[in-house]
Amino acid sequence: MPWAGDIAGGQGSITVGAMNAEHHSDPLGVITSPREWLTRALKPLSSTIHTPQTSQEKTMKTSTFRRASVVPALIALGLAACGSDAGDSTDTGPMTTDMDMDMNMGDPDATPADDVVGAALARGEYSLMDTRPEGYDGVAGTAVIARSPLGTTITTELTGLLPNVDYISHAHAQACDDGNAGPHYQFEVGGSEFPPNEIHLAFTSDNDGNGFMTAENAKIAGTAAVAFVVHPMEFIDNKIACVDFIEDEPGSIDAAIAAGLDESTMDDMDDEG
């Protein structure tokens, strides 16, 4: 059954369902699944070259998604595929998902996890996964997670990617060698599969195949956020590489979780709102 995506700008909702020829037009042609709609819709989106500005100057040029409210909505349609059975093509009928159109999928100008003041840090290097598509044997890089009184920050840097390709990455709840990192980490298990209940980073590699992105979340990730996985957007079922997070200082994560969020900071944010 053909699918069509209706994005209600500013309404905070996405409806994906069978096309209604009387009220809808499909500029992408005949689409056979939500994932195909996602992939083909993303291709026209432009990207811009960005050089991250941090306290320690980074020389790697990176590409990021054009800031447009439609991008998170398009990405979200394919996120459930990560960790799902690629062979399950059951048509579950029309689907409506309420979500924050401004959900944080990453900001290259955000403070990198390494530089978050007073944070409990964990990090690791990427190891290749057997599910990677052809052309990714040279991928390498790191991911760092910071837990602080302000919440959670994850920063990833990669080399050896295919150039000018869209990627999506997620925090996972199992180690890399445990069921290919298992499901996405969720703050509320069984809740929404979108940020802010999960931590996702979306980015586009630059002309040299480098990638960089930082994402922030206002909650402190629990101890179950143990790994981080990157996929190509077009082949979201194919995990390229995975990081197992290892604490810089043993016991620091438990201490950060026990300390909790800085309530005074939260109050200041509420007052500003």
State both tokens at 46.
């432009």
Element spanning 143, H or E? strand 140-148
pLDDT of residue 265: 58
Contact 121, 248 (CB under 8 A): yes
Q: Which two tokens stand for residue 192?
A: 């929404």
Angle separating helix axes 34-42 and 70-79, nearest 10 degrees: 140
Q: Which residue ranges in the chain fall short of pLDDT 50? A: 1-34, 36-74, 76-78, 80, 83-102, 266-273
pLDDT of residue 223: 97
pLDDT at residue number 239? 97
Give me the domains of the chain, ranges plus CATH numbers. Answer: 47-67+99-272 (2.60.40.200)
Q: What's the pTM?
A: 0.68
Please tell me the predicted confidence (pLDDT) of residue 124: 98
Continuous segment of H or E residues that includes residue 40: helix 34-42
**Tell me, what's the pLDDT at 263?**
77
What does the pLDDT read at residue 82?
Answer: 59
Angle (CA) 98-33-88 rounded to 5° is: 95
CB-CB neighbours of 158 under 10 Å = 25
Sign of the four-CA dihedral 61, 79, 245, 151: positive
User: Which phi and psi angles does 75 have, rounded to 5°?
Assistant: -60, -40
**pLDDT recorded at residue 269:** 37
